Amino acid sequence: MIIERIAVGPLQANCYVISDEETRDALVIDPGEEAGKIISFIESRSLTTTYIICTHGHFDHVGAVSRVKAGTGAKVILNRADLEIYRAAVDQAAFWEYEIEQPPEPDLFVMDGYEIHVGRKNIFRILHTPGHSPGGICLYGGGIIISGDTVFAGSVGRTDFYGGNIEELKQSFRTIMGLPESTRIFPGHGEATSVGIERKANFFVYEL
């Protein structure tokens, strides 16, 4: 399994491309901006993109979904609880004085425990992690977790946006901190970290 990060857009959201070395199957996670850059990246590696997965519906994570879907034919995955936010992404972007294309309707809604395969051997389990948004999800498998805006290196996602909930975020944080300490965390913004590091260094530990 290969995990590659592309920081995109003015807010430098992390778009991840996860691929299988043998089959060249791939997932694109959170294509928030710069669709051409993402598509060129995929084509340069001769990957076949099966799914576009949105960890949540905020505009900086879904702004390039429409063009990436058109360019790859991949199906779009979301948790249904974030559908209202996802559909309003254009208005969110305008509020922050950005402009994005309206993302297409999701092809598949996933719940906690749903499994997504990449190639023949790599399996990710969906974890429903609300708090930053109602339908926030993480992908867990192979010793890593793609955490969206739930957990960052040293921090956590905001809860003052529409649909945010601090008590739900606390529970989601506990869930992630309950994973093996060797688990690598790949967040929606910033550098990768690990559960072991965040148990010691994340300020939010002291909020629980």
pTM (2 decimals)?
Answer: 0.95
Catalogue all structural domains in the chain, each as residue range(s) with its CATH number.
2-207 (3.60.15.10)
Q: What is the pLDDT of residue 159?
A: 96
| Separation of alpha carbons 201 and 193, rounded Å | 10
CB of 182 within 8 A of CB of 7?
Answer: no
What pLDDT is attached to residue 100?
94
pLDDT given for residue 162 in this prediction: 93
Q: What is the dihedral of CA 76, 78, 80, 81, to 10 degrees?
A: -150
Q: Kindly state the tokens that stand for 26.
A: 């791939």
> What is the predicted pLDDT for the residue at 96?
87
* Per-residue pLDDT, 109: 98
pLDDT tens for 73-92 read 999 999 999 999 999 999 99
Over the chain (208 residues), the average pLDDT of each successive run of 10 is: 94 96 96 97 96 98 97 98 98 92 97 95 96 98 97 97 96 98 98 98 89
Q: What is the pLDDT of residue 24?
A: 96
The reported pLDDT for the residue numbered 175 is 97
CA distance 58 to 194: 24
